[in-house]
Amino acid sequence: MNEEHMEVVMGLIMHGGNAKGYAYQAIQDAKAGNFDEADKKIELANQELKAAHDTQTGMLTQEAQGNHVEVDLYMVHGQDHLMNAITFKDLAIEIIELLRRLDEK
């Protein structure tokens, strides 16, 4: 495995993990009634997901150009982190919206 491959994998894991962490913090902020902070954390999660998505798009572009991207357990693990982060962020948005509605009543 070459260094470039590991950088891609670690980028997916790092940005995915950061995004999930921000989404978790956003839920905690919303539970405390700090909805402005929760919204800021969701935006930070979105920025992290964009960075991971840009990495993923680069891999897809390489593959489309005929430069095979190595798929190994590390890559699967990185993709798993990214997909879980996306799902977690989407659910966090729904939870925050429910908490916002409850707070308004």
User: Would you tell me how many other CB atoms lie within 10 Å of the CB of residue 18?
Assistant: 18
**What is the rounded end-to-end Cα distance, in angstroms, of the chain?**
56
Active site residue 77: yes
Marked catalytic residue, from 5, 15, 68, 77: 77
- Residues designated catalytic: 77
